[in-house]
Structure 1
């Protein structure tokens, strides 16, 4: 008795596990065809080759691999595979499960790599931004130093003071200053002597 996939219930496949898949003709309702013609003249995976050897359509590979155990048991009982055929079926299922697990593992690794690449790109962008900000701050620092130097030179000039012998002492609020001798000790500086406002 031939099942709906061209297999035989209750007995070994007539061509054997590695023989010509004559059941393909019955499945397609055509004359004798070769396994290559039956499978579409395309490169087949190992599991597809094994399924072909059992006279099963390649669509059944996904069923064998992915069906839940109870539905898988129903599937094999429906086809009434021999023990030798069942060994091939188990091999297909085991290999398929391993391939799925390997694919998931590779996907996780790829996702991790993508995440690391994103983190690296963000870190590099942050580094470039901070480097640019640092460059701007240093430029601003140099500008302020030059501005301060010009202001101090102007203060020495208008107060007719020799900058080589005096220095500027700023008040605690930064809005006043005094011109004092460079060799003067802090204790010798009189309270408001030469105290000036910064306008």
Structure 2
């Protein structure tokens, strides 16, 4: 009888506190490792709506990957989630794309979160990921952020990394296409780290929220 009362009390607490309590064990802090391998998905939202976007994303992801974890970042408007394995990524992306959400703007897959101190370290990390995915295709580099710590603007960084990929992977029949690339090499400045992703252009999702779908 006492056990039953305890269980009822626990259920009541969970019901009142909602999703955040249910998913609290999935939240983890980014540690100062040199590199964290993915797959990650980066979700953009309106600053201040990170909690809601996180909950909406978990509603989509948990049935597919119950071991998903959140990696916290001080960058506003960003939710960073790490999936447990690569084979979950495509299913998760399709599930989020098919759902009507209120706060999720973009969903971007990332291969790596890297802590770099200079352009050489960053270039090495980017080429390492690109080497696994780029061959006989076109690509472009997109950089999101200010990258002041590296003392370079996003436009110059895009040009530099594009040249580095072509130079160091010169035997792979690669070309840059700014207007219609097969692949996108994306860098997203987080806080002290940079998210790096190389993926087919069609995998970058731009969501319509339920507010966009109103008549």
TM class by shorter-chain length?
under 0.3
More strand by proportion, 1 or 2?
2
Q: TM-score, normalised by structure 2?
A: 0.20
Pair member with larger Rg: 1
More helix by proportion, 1 or 2?
1
Q: TM-score, normalised by structure 1?
A: 0.21
Q: Which of 1 and 2 has higher RCO (CA within 8 Å, sep 6+)?
A: 2
